[in-house]
Structure 1
Amino acid sequence: MTMTHMPIATVFGGSGFVGRYVVEALAHAGYRIRVAVRRPNEALFTMTYGTVGQVQTVQANIRDDASTEAAIAGASLVVNCVGILFPVGKQKFDAVQNEGAARIAQMSARHGVERLVHISAIGADADSDSAYARSKGEGEQAILAAFPKAVILRPSIVFGPEDDFFNQFGTMAARFPALPVVGAETRFQPVYVGDVAEAALAAAQGKVASGTYELGGPDIETFRELMERIKRVTRRPRRVLINIPTPIAAMQGSLLDFLSKLSLGLVPNSLLTRDQVRLLNRDNVVGEAANGFDTFGIVPRDMDSILDGYMWPYRPSGQFAEMIESAKNLR
């Protein structure tokens, strides 16, 4: 297929953790891709995912009508991978995950886009007392109002080489004698980023009906069990797990939020927000009646098959840990 005959896909947030895997999957499937991001120069690495000229970066801010519309015009597929874990500057939950998502859907409908795929999150709920979950839920509602045939994907915690979860706690395990545990019995269903991208590709190709799908891996573990797993995979068995009761965690989150505000947002609270404490006390697993990977015909990969491949930097002996452990068995 020549470049001029390739369908055009616009991927908002295409240089982010999930977005880059979606871009790569679409490139291999034969799409011409616009990686729509606020800072195109920081997304140039995505151009290597396809042949020369197949992947291009374009400037777009989903808080802005003109740049969002320009990125969408002429595309037959739009994928929205933009999401934030905590507010930074003008990047607020409502502005990004609600109003921004709505803007993408409205512009997609205006320009006759054939398919719209939106990456949301398990727990999205317009009635939630969590600002994160509420903005996700309101964003979903706005998308379906403007583009009823959209496909919405709700993953649980997404893991992979560039993730912010296992890498963050792996770093803590390597540097500190203890790991904090907030919401020890809350259940999670971590899902591999490559499987999420595969589901997004299937949705983009029209292989599933429009609607909402919840994506979780084969393993369901509590937060405490995930911390125990991190101790094992980083070879840090002596690390102590410190349970932090919810009221105390909420106080800590509030204090860190306040200090961030005192800095006028120059120092964002990326450690623990009060909103995250609320989320850490709610199960984050696929609902019993929800459509999931089975609908896509995808068998999700488990944590055991992936984590060793990128968590080795946090081990005492780095990439040589397994070699040293094996040598101890020699006679």
Structure 2
Amino acid sequence: MCPVKINAGIIIMKGLTKYFEYQISGFLIFVFFLSVVGCKKEDETEKKINQIELDVEVHRFDREFATAQPNDIPTLKSRYPYLFPAQFPDSIWEAKLRDTLQIELSDEVDNAFGDFKQETRQLESLFKHISYYFPKAKTPKIITLISDVRYEDRIILTDSLLLVGLDNYLGQEHRFYQSIPRYVAQGLNKEYLASDIASAFTKKVLKFPRNRTFLSRMVHYGKELYLKDILLPENTDAQKINYTEEEIEWAQANEERIWRYFVERELLYSTESSLDRRFLDPAPFSKFQLVLDSESPGRLGRYMGWQIVRAYMEKNPKVQLVDLLDMPADELFKNSNYKPKR
């Protein structure tokens, strides 16, 4: 072979290598610049949020009741009339003061939460974020109580009150939860407390869609979870969707597989109500009717809706939050260019 041609080829290859190295380094610098700008903007927003002055009141009714005497009942009733239905005489509450289960529940809550300072900081952060993004929202008075493990009503949020049943957050293996289905008991852990309160708030600002398609419902829950991205920036994805770490890892690892299943079976625009039970409602696992069912966490349709909304906001970062919440699912999906992670 001709040495001149070899040398020329080497020179060309070196030149091309340098060219591509220059192009790649320039691209990486550009990506780094965008990430720095994005982080700086987020830091500035968080700084503004942290500077908000907010009076978060936490009233430990659970402790007040636990240390009360029968002659304290009238005072408690005057301070917390909404916790004492008028049809029940004082004798009922006096008996409850002596009830061994009530006393045991109070002791267990004290062991789990102590002075509640850490949770109070989390709730202050949550309501500061709510105040920043939803200025018209009022910060409610927070009342902690013992609810006799009524886990379906563990969080009640009105315009002025937030009732938190602390006995529903003692940990999934607690002996009080042994008769509760395991997939329900899994969420009865204090690491999900702020997430449950955020969920109660999102239901006040996010209307359930009239559109009956599976896609519409997926995106609805996706918006709810995206709101948690905004309102609970320090929470993990697992905490936001009330998964274990193993469950969120499974969802992330199988995202493409789940999406392919939905698309190949033409489920996105289906109005079959059974899809809610299979992929959106709380359940021990999602129902693909395949071998993988037993491996999967429940509510995977919500997880997929979340990824669609995230993809849309990554592509359209200037869209206002209020506009996102009102956006029809079809429009959001088309403009998200969603592609599952491999």
TM-score by length of 1: 0.22
Q: Which structure has the larger Rg over C-alpha atoms? A: 2
Larger RCO, structure (CA 8 Å, separation 6 or more): 1
TM-score by length of 2: 0.21
